[in-house]
Amino acid sequence: MLILAGLGNPGPKYAGNRHNIGFMAADAIADRWSFGPERAKFQSIARDGEVKTDAGPVRVLLLKPQTYMNESGRAIGEAMRFFRLQPADVIVMHDEIDLAPGRLRMKTGGGAAGQNGIRSTISHIGADFRRMRLGIGHPGDKALVHGHVLSDFHKAELAWLRPMLDAIADSLPLMVAGEDEKFQAEVLRLAPAPKLDPRKTSGDS
């Protein structure tokens, strides 16, 4: 069993924010794989389902913590302990300003790099969980970061956002099977990141 947690802030006010791309990925996955209905559990909106891999089906609990971003780890930790899982059984999907828009990188362990949802998760379950880092780009000035992540995606950005979310859902069996590098490559093959003005992002690391 795996816990797949998308990070974001609850409520319609935040639904279209860049900070909520983790929620958006969770919804795309649930729809693509016909997960069960939403229910309130583990301080989250939770949905259960199975993902078919070459080695057989894997049960997945999909979470959208309703604790607000900065306390995401409380919900994830509660679910992990309930099912007696380990951090390695947890995958967290979150926005990443240090990746160009439309880029995706998988990572296991490490620090929070300023992402408060990841910082909270580390504080509750340790650092050794898997992360799906979803690039939203950097506004170019540290003072503008807060407004950037809490503003909605522009209409023009939907041209890369929607294909990226579809590619994540379609390629999910690779990630569920632990093939993170293959998953990452397949997503970027299906939904190549847009070519952008390099002055508008802080990098692609």
pLDDT of 197 = 54
Using only the alpha carbons of the chain, give its radius of gyration. 16
What's the pTM? 0.93
Helix or strand run (H / E) with residue 4: strand 2-6
Q: What does the block give as tokens for 72?
A: 């995401």
pLDDT of 196 = 63
Catalytic residues: 19
Edge-to-edge, what's the strand order for the sheet holding 104-108?
A: 39-41, 44-53, 56-65, 2-6, 90-96, 130-135, 104-108
pLDDT of 134 = 98
pLDDT of 101 = 96
**pLDDT of the chain, 205 residues: tens digit per residue:** 999 999 999 999 999 999 999 999 999 999 999 999 999 999 999 999 999 999 999 999 999 999 999 999 999 999 999 999 999 999 999 999 999 999 999 999 999 988 999 999 999 999 999 999 999 999 999 999 999 999 999 999 999 999 999 999 999 999 999 999 999 999 999 999 988 654 444 444 4
Domains annotated for the chain, with CATH where assigned, are 2-200 (3.40.50.1470)
pLDDT of 106 = 98
Report strand pairing: 56-65 vs 2-6: parallel
pLDDT of 93 = 98
Contact in structure between 29 and 168 (CB atoms under 8 Å): yes
DSSP 119: H
pLDDT of 190 = 97
